[in-house]
Amino acid sequence: MAEFNIALIPGDGIGPEIVGGAVTVLDAVSKKYGHKFNYTEVYMGGCAIDKYGEPLPQETVDICKKSDSVLLGAVGGPKWDNAPVRPEKGLLGIRKALELYSNLRPSILKPQLKDASPLKDEKLKNGLNVMVVRELTGGIYFGERKTASDGSWASDEEKYSVEEVKRIGKIAFETAMLRDKRVVSVDKANVLDSSKLWRKTMIELSKDYPEVELTHMYVDNAAMQLAINPAQFDVIVTSNIFGDILSDLSSAIAGSIGMLPSASLGATKCGMYEPIHGSAPDIAGMDIANPIATIVSAAMMLEMSFGLVEEAKAINSAVDKVLDMNYRTTDIMSDGMTKVGCAEMARLIAENI
């Protein structure tokens, strides 16, 4: 029997519901395979502002650092739009505190959800299986911010070092070696000095991976190409802000933002796993949220941080089984399907482990 300590950050909005769904499935895994998962729930985001006056209490950081990995729901919402500090600052802070510099976001079109994709069939005939590797602790989100005292202008600094680009590039190339050995590096090197450095560094790094084909795209063209011919992509590596945008686009192509997981990793096995969607406060507490993205994020945690490959496959297979049985949450509902709520979808997946 293996034992693991998991820090749970339910967060705001639908966060508690979807994390609860993932725990239901993890409990089914522990029962079948004889593992023990110890959960510690902590505060982050808007709920932490309400309770502690700050989005990331030190207690949360300490518990996360002592855990084997972190499972996150979602943070933020209009309730805190006028708060002195935004709930999302907690998310940026925990990534920094845990030194999680890479974010892996797989976007896979499940055949059961082909009709849910906004793209026409001919654009999906070759399928969709894209991995977006996003740099997570640098760039404009962490650069210096300034606002004029009279409010007449504001600026945000985009800054990258060679080492920051090299370490995220290495993740992308090594990921590609396990896939189709193709990397598209996305930048804006025709305009930005930071992107020129990014491209130059990626070209130098590619010499260490002669088996991997490296190509480059400007971010605007990459967005267009994802919509025109998503099958051309294998691994996309890009900066923090570009990755934030492109991974959401690739997820929408896959049918629903409620289906896709992500893993935030650093130099150790301890990672943070979360769905790529937001807190959806408009449907919070209604038991209609889709827990699948959080559930398959937990599967990524089992495989990538805990080395439980068979258990991760069992979760993904259970998700496929439930979709094959025509059960759907509201966001992926179509004619002839059976609508279920958040808790029931999690229960069905757990039942099929």
Instruction: Tell me the CATH number at 295.
Output: 3.40.718.10
Range of the domain at 44: 1-99+291-353
What is the DSSP secondary structure assignment for residue 68, as one 8-state letter? S
In degrees and rounded to multiples of 5, residue 250 shows phi and psi of -65, -30
What is the DSSP secondary structure assignment for residue 106, as one 8-state letter? E
Q: Which of 253, 272, 307 is the last residue of a domain?
A: 253
Nearest alpha carbon to residue 219 among 191, 257, 193: 191
Q: How far is residue 285's CA from residue 214's CA, in Å, rounded to a whole number? A: 45
**Catalytic: 89?**
no
In three-state secondary structure terms, 69 is: strand
- pLDDT score for 129: 86
164 and 222 belong to one structural domain: yes
126 and 237 belong to one structural domain: yes
What dihedral angle (degrees, nearest 10) is formed by the CA atoms of 321, 21, 343, 296?
A: -30
**Catalytic: 193?**
no
Domain count, the chain: 2
351 and 314 belong to one structural domain: yes
- pLDDT score for 125: 63
- pLDDT score for 349: 98
- pLDDT score for 39: 98
**Catalytic: 81?**
no
Marked catalytic residue, from 187, 244, 273, 331? 244
Marked catalytic residue, from 43, 101, 141, 209? 141
Model pTM score: 0.87
- pLDDT score for 123: 65
- 111 lies in some domain: no
Marked catalytic residue, from 27, 248, 287, 320? 248
61 and 165 belong to one structural domain: no
162 and 242 belong to one structural domain: yes
124 and 239 belong to one structural domain: yes
Per-residue pLDDT of the chain (353 residues; tens, 9 = 90+): 799 999 999 999 999 999 999 999 999 999 999 999 999 999 999 999 999 999 999 999 999 999 999 999 999 999 999 999 999 999 989 999 999 999 999 988 777 777 667 666 666 666 678 999 999 999 999 999 999 999 999 999 999 999 999 999 999 999 999 999 999 999 999 999 999 999 999 999 999 999 999 999 999 999 999 988 888 999 999 999 999 999 888 877 876 777 889 999 998 889 999 998 899 999 999 999 999 999 999 999 999 999 999 999 999 999 999 999 999 999 888 889 999 999 999 999 999 99
